[in-house]
Amino acid sequence: MFEARLVQSAILKKVLDAIKDLLTEATFECSDSGIQVQAMDNAHVSLVSLNLRSDGFDKYRCDRNLSMGMSIACMSKILRCAGSEDTVTLRALDNPENIVFIFESPNKEKLAEYEMKLINMDQEHLGIPETSYSCIVKMPSQEFSRICRDLSQFGESITFACSKEGIKFSASGDYGQATIKLAQTADADNEEEAVSVNMQEPVKLTFSCRYLNCFIKAGPLCAQVQLSMSNDVPLVCEYKIGDIGHIRYYLAPKIDD
Partner 1 sequence: ITKQTTLMNFFKKS
Q: Which stretch binds partner 1 (CB under 8 A): 63-71, 111-119, 125-133, 186-194?
A: 125-133
Q: Which stretch binds partner 1 (CB under 8 A): 94-102, 122-130, 134-142, 193-201?
A: 122-130
CB of 46: closest distance to partner 1 in angstroms? 7
DSSP one-letter string for 164-186: TTEEEEEEEETTEEEEEEEEPPS
Which one among 208, 224, 226, 228 touches partner 1, defined by CB under 8 A? 208
Which amino acid appears at position 139 of this protein? M
Asked if 125 interacts with partner 1 (CB under 8 A), we say yes
CB of 69: closest distance to partner 1 in angstroms? 18
Distances (CA, A) of 34 to 58, 65, 66: 12, 10, 11
Q: Of 113, 136, 123, which is closest to residue 201 (Cα–Cα)?
A: 136
CB of 160: closest distance to partner 1 in angstroms? 13
Q: What is the DSSP letter of 246?
A: E
Sheet containing strand 59-62, strands side by side: 59-62, 2-6, 87-92, 98-104, 111-117
Residue 77: exposed, middle, or buried by beta-carbon count in 10 A (0-12, 13-18, 19+)?
Answer: middle
Sheet containing strand 176-183, strands side by side: 176-183, 166-173, 157-163, 203-208
Asked if 111 interacts with partner 1 (CB under 8 A), we say no
Asked if 233 interacts with partner 1 (CB under 8 A), we say yes
Q: Of 221, 213, 224, which is closest to residue 251 (Cα–Cα)?
A: 213
CB closer to partner 1 out of 45 and 167: 45
CB closer to partner 1 out of 90 and 151: 151
Which one among 22, 35, 45, 78 touches partner 1, defined by CB under 8 A? 45
Asked if 177 interacts with partner 1 (CB under 8 A), we say no
Judged by CB under 8 A, the number of residues near partner 1 is 24
CB of 213: closest distance to partner 1 in angstroms? 15
CB of 256: closest distance to partner 1 in angstroms? 6
Binding site for partner 1 (CB under 8 A): 40, 43-47, 124-129, 157, 206, 208, 233-234, 250, 252-257
